[in-house]
Amino acid sequence: MLYDQHIHSRYSQDGSASIEEIAQQAIVRGLRGITITDHLDFCEAEIGYHFYLEHEAQRREEFERVREKYADQLEIGWGIEVGHPYFMTDYAKDFLSKRSFDFVLGSVHFLRDQSDIYLIDYSQPQEVDRVLKEYFTDLLALLEFGGFDSLAHLDYPLRVMKGKIAEPTVLPYREYIDPILREVVRQDLALELNTRGFMDWKKRQEPEDWVLTRYRELGGRKITVGSDAHTLSAIGGAFDQAAQKLKALGFEEISYYRNRKPFPILL
Ligand SMILES: [Zn+2]
Ligand SMILES: [Zn+2]
């Protein structure tokens, strides 16, 4: 009985399903709960920034209606995935302080020059290395800014590096990743296990095993699980595999968030 805590609805510019369709699908999948985490990338180069704000009232209205309608079958949380709030620190602080979410995911999708990690040309091997180093450095900046509950898809750039990197691993960047994990633990945040990687070329959860093991060694216990679904079929995807993996790595529970507070679910 798992919670899917990373789902995009049609209120993300790259999502398609209504919140009601998502709720119905989650019930069919037998999930105990879901959190809708539409995108708000704090970045002028990103259309999703305006898209979120323009649809915010409508999103809330649909959310309230659906939450009430399915209250006896499914818990539905009010969440958001914020990208690089350090691009607009004052605005991001103001935005987050004026709203109450159940759960906030923190992400980096764009580099400092406002280039979209998904759209960079990785045909030159040095680009792979440059982007990964910059990306991990920016994750530390994200943690320094704070304001979120769980660090999303720690090895996100690998999604678009198929054929450009020999193996789907970030092990060569261990010296960059260690301080990130230490900071997640120090701030008592959660680390996300994103199941999307099971469905893409990596054929494994994001992040990979050694990262989860290292997080645990450093004292990290809070894990949130999310599919990062942008379509109905992806909701709750590979959750059995995720639970098995976490147990095999020594984790005993996952966390879900309500009113920005973690609650445990035993695995
Ligand atoms: Zn993301
Ligand atoms: Zn996402």
Q: List the chain pLDDT tens, one digit each, 267 residues.
A: 689 999 999 999 999 999 999 999 999 999 999 999 999 999 887 776 788 999 999 999 999 999 999 999 999 999 999 999 999 999 999 999 999 999 999 999 999 999 999 999 999 989 999 999 999 999 999 999 999 999 999 999 999 999 999 899 999 999 999 999 999 999 999 999 999 999 999 999 999 999 999 999 999 999 999 999 999 999 999 999 999 999 999 999 999 999 999 999 999
Peptide bond between residue 207 and the one before it cis (omega within 30 degrees of 0): yes
Q: In whole angstroms, what is the distance from residue 244 CA to residue 153 CA?
A: 19
- Distances in Å between the Cα of 161 and the Cα atoms of 126, 167, 205, 222, 250 are 12, 10, 16, 28, 30
| The total number of residues written for the chain in this structure | 267
Boundaries of every domain in the chain = 3-266
Taking the centre of ligand 1 as the mean of its atom positions, its distance from the CA of residue 41, in whole angstroms, is 9
Q: Are 2 and 31 in contact (CB under 8 A)?
A: yes
Sheet containing strand 3-7, strands side by side: 3-7, 33-41, 75-83, 103-107, 150-151, 190-194, 223-226
Superfamily, domain 3-266 = Metal-dependent hydrolases (3.20.20.140)
Instruction: Please tell me the pTM assigned to this model.
Output: 0.97
- Residue 160 CB coordination number (10 Å): 16
Taking the centre of ligand 1 as the mean of its atom positions, its distance from the CA of residue 166, in whole angstroms, is 23
Q: In whole angstroms, what is the distance from residue 63 CA to residue 68 CA?
A: 9
Taking the centre of ligand 1 as the mean of its atom positions, its distance from the CA of residue 69, in whole angstroms, is 28
Q: State the pLDDT at residue 43.
A: 86
Taking the centre of ligand 2 as the mean of its atom positions, its distance from the CA of residue 39, in whole angstroms, is 7
Q: State the pLDDT at residue 165.
A: 93
- Distances in Å between the Cα of 199 and the Cα atoms of 98, 137, 190, 204, 237 are 36, 27, 23, 8, 8
Provide the token pair at 151. 């660090």
Q: Are 267 and 15 in contact (CB under 8 A)?
A: no
- Residue 152 CB coordination number (10 Å): 28
